[in-house]
Amino acid sequence: MCRALVLYGCLSFVSAQALPYEEVSRAVHPLKVGVIISSSANKSNFINYERSCIVRGMARSYFLNNSDAQIRFIFEEVSDIYAMASAKAAQDLVKQSVQLAVLHLTSTQAEAAADVFSNAGIPYITSATSLNTIKPGYKGVSISSSNKTMSKIIARYFMANFQYRSIVVVPNLLNNYSDEFSELFKREIYSLDHRKHINTYPFGLENERLDDLVARIPDGAFVFAPLYNPKIGVLYNRLVRAGKKDIIFFGGNVPMNRTEFLKVSGGISEDVRALFISDWDIDHPATSKSTLEQRRAQSSIQRIVDAYCDVDGVTTHVTVAYDLMKMLMAISDDFKEGTTPKELMRMIKQSPYSTVTTGNHFSFDDDGFAYKPMYLFEMTGEKLIHLETFEPLKP
């Protein structure tokens, strides 16, 4: 039986938080990168599976195709979605003296891990959207737009198209991402119209059944519900079953064209329109089909998916993970012994990698989140319709 960390390709499957494998670098002074991913054996949360399979595959491919292997990837698996698990994984990576961390996790998981890495002075890159993920001192960056940016766009879209509708916000107060997104959206609405009344009905509180919550939502309402699956699908389904009419159901940045949502929701009703915002357009190539297909063809993303991922097609989370890893790999040759965390963070922010999602280099706003276009979609039956493109907001 081979020993982990001795021969390339050895796999060591131990406890839920333990190291699944490590790609052993051939460089004298490699960049040690800690990666927190979901358990490879767990497909119950398919989004997390997509996130982890592409990251694993790219690390393996990088080792096989780079003779000098400037990056040494160290993996920590988490078997559940709770913040405590990702915090523990981050602590284990700190003990292993990683110099950079990759957090392609939910915002709730990424926030907990970011706390640990920030306290240890270790920079990190993530795809999370919550403001709390990027800590003071700019020790990390996110390749996604922030909840603050998305809240501004959604609030302005509401005022331009639905300002006479009543607003109902349905947050999950036990989830930092959902709570923050909801509060930021309300703040933006009040900044545009301080007289606007907003009803807030939290999801899942013990003192109120979901059917009672749904009953309080009037026909014709604009419902803002930044919830993770399956909660968002359950809420949508209850609105339809309750016979609600002329509802605008805005699910934040949760992609409601995915099977996870559609199975739980029971499909899309004409009476409850399903809208969501995305900071990339590859889920719907018709928005810029020729250039997107060209970028995908020029990249190795399809080959990586075919080799390492049991998924259908190139999904949102697969593509974001690909960009996250390629952004890191593009700066590996510039890393030297003695490179400081501050210098490493500057190198990441200035990475020359051109993304699959936009075709451009990443740039970041003052909060440390990606500065790039946003796309508004609506699900109608089985069709995904691109409604509008929003150019990056000026700082």
57-108 pLDDT, tens digit each: 889 888 887 766 789 999 998 876 678 899 999 999 999 999 999 998 888 8
Domain residues for the domain of 206 are: 147-278+375-390
CA distance 241 to 186: 27
Q: Has residue 254 got a pLDDT over 60? A: yes
Q: Are 182 and 96 part of one and the same domain?
A: no
Q: Are 237 and 386 part of one and the same domain?
A: yes
pLDDT at 1: 34
Q: Across residues 45-53, what is the average pLDDT?
A: 72
Q: How many domains does the chain have?
A: 2
Question: What are 191-236's pLDDT values in tens digits?
Answer: 999 999 999 999 976 546 898 999 999 999 999 999 998 899 999 9
Q: Are 234 and 111 part of one and the same domain?
A: no
pLDDT at 337: 84
**Residue 307 within a domain:** yes
The reported pTM is 0.87
Q: What percent of the chain has pLDDT over 90?
A: 52
Q: Are 381 and 264 part of one and the same domain?
A: yes
Q: Are 220 and 310 part of one and the same domain?
A: no
CATH number, domain at 191?
3.40.50.2300
Q: Are 247 and 184 part of one and the same domain?
A: yes
Strands 247-250 and 374-380: unpaired
Q: Has residue 6 got a pLDDT over 60? A: no
Q: Are 351 and 361 within 8 A, CB to CB?
A: yes
**Residue 11 within a domain:** no
**Residue 39 within a domain:** yes
User: Which of the 8 DSSP states describes residue 141?
Assistant: E
Least confident of 142-146, 157-161, 292-296, 345-349: 292-296
Q: Are 105 and 203 part of one and the same domain?
A: no
111: number of Cβ within 10 Å: 25
Report which of residues 322 and 183 the model is more confident about. Answer: 183
Question: What are 275-321's pLDDT values in tens digits?
Answer: 999 887 754 545 455 466 667 667 788 888 888 887 777 777 788 88
**Residue 8 within a domain:** no
Average pLDDT, the chain: 84
With cut-offs at 50, 70 and 90, classify the pLDDT of residue 52.
confident
Within 8 A by CB and 6+ apart from 48, the residues are 38, 42, 81, 105, 106
Strands 124-126 and 140-142: parallel
Q: Has residue 113 got a pLDDT over 50? A: yes
CA distance 361 to 374: 16
* Residue 75: strand pairing partners: 35
Q: Has residue 262 got a pLDDT over 80? A: yes
